[in-house]
């Protein structure tokens, strides 16, 4: 029964995942590592059972506590941008959410440190990653705006919620040469930004795409 849950049947089958990957290629995703991991990762286990048949549609889907699981294209785009840097081994993820993005990252880098403000949501994500036998993820229940300073510096940081401005604490936790991928709210529109740390004080940024994410909130619950 467990094997069937992970493999999926019908609209959650491998064939459906193949269609999702072909669509990602058509949308411009080129990194073969990212495409292969998304082909193999059962996204349907990270959504409510009632929505499992829609898991491989290119759309964000609701999960608990007013949060969403990001659309596959956003996951692929952000992961591809993050991995373009050299020596990306240690990654900080802000917003565990459903755990799907966490699972994708965990199969591509050595260490993932994931921070989530909603404890019950993170506990559910932990169970999904345990089911996939992904043991290179460390979790923290905390305000994501703070990052995880005790484990800094990081080779890369990914933020999976839209911030109003880039938290200074996250920039400070990025190693020189590291990359930060973050959706930012500007003038009523969200833009996905890639920020590279060139030296101790200098950062270079570029806009990758218009996106739509839930807001990055402070505090914990």
Least confident of 6-10, 22-26, 148-152, 156-160: 6-10
Structure tokens given for 168: 């200074």
Pairing of strands 189-197, 174-186: antiparallel
Q: Across all residues in the chain, what is the average pLDDT? A: 94
Q: DSSP strand E in the chain: where?
A: 61-62, 68-69, 90-94, 111-116, 137-141, 154-159, 174-186, 189-197, 203-210
Q: Which of the following is catalytic: 70, 74, 98, 114?
A: 70
- The domains of the chain, with CATH numbers, are 58-210 (3.40.50.150)
- Which pLDDT value is given to residue 2? 52
Least confident of 66-70, 82-86, 96-100: 82-86
Is the peptide bond between 153 and the residue preceding it cis, with omega within 30 degrees of 0? Answer: yes
Q: Is the pLDDT of residue 166 over 80?
A: yes
Residue 64 designated active-site: no
- Which pLDDT value is given to residue 1? 44
Radius of gyration for the chain, computed over Cα atoms and rounded to the nearest angstrom: 16
Instruction: Give percent of the chain with pLDDT exceeding 70.
Output: 96
Residue 9 pLDDT grade (very low, low, confident, very high; cuts 50, 70, 90) = low
Does 29 or 14 have the greater pLDDT score? 29
The helix or strand, by DSSP H or E, that contains position 124, with its residue range, turns out to be helix 119-131
* Three-class SS state of 214: coil
Q: For the segment 26-60, what is each residue's pLDDT rounded down to a tens digit?
A: 999 999 999 999 999 999 999 998 999 999 999 99
From residue 67, alpha-carbon distances to 41, 86, 114, 153, 214 in Å are 21, 32, 16, 28, 7
Residue 211 pLDDT grade (very low, low, confident, very high; cuts 50, 70, 90) = very high
């Amino acid at each position: 029964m467990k094997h069937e849950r992970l493999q999926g049947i019908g609209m959650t089958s491998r064939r459906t995942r193949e269609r999702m990957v072909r669509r990602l290629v058509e949308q411009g995703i080129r990194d073969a590592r990212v495409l292969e991991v998304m082909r193999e990762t059962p996204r349907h286990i990270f959504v409510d059972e009632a929505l499992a048949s829609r898991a491989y549609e290119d759309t964000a889907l609701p999960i608990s506590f007013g949060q969403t699981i990001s659309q596959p294209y956003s996951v692929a785009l952000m992961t591809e941008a993050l991995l373009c840097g050299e020596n990306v081994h240690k990654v900080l993820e802000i917003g565990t959410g459903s755990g799907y993005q966490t699972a994708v990252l965990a199969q591509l880098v050595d260490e993932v440190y994931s921070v989530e403000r909603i404890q019950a949501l993170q506990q559910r994500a932990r169970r999904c990653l345990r089911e996939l036998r992904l043991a290179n993820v460390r979790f923290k229940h905390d305000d994501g705006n703070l990052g995880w300073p005790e484990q800094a510096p990081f080779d890369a940081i990914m933020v999976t919620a839209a911030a109003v401005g880039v938290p200074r604490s996250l920039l400070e936790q990025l190693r020189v040469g590291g990359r930060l991928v973050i959706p930012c709210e500007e003038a009523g529109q969200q833009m996905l930004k890639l920020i590279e740390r060139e030296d101790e004080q200098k950062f270079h940024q570029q806009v990758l795409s218009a996106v739509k994410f839930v807001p990055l909130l402070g505090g914990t619950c």
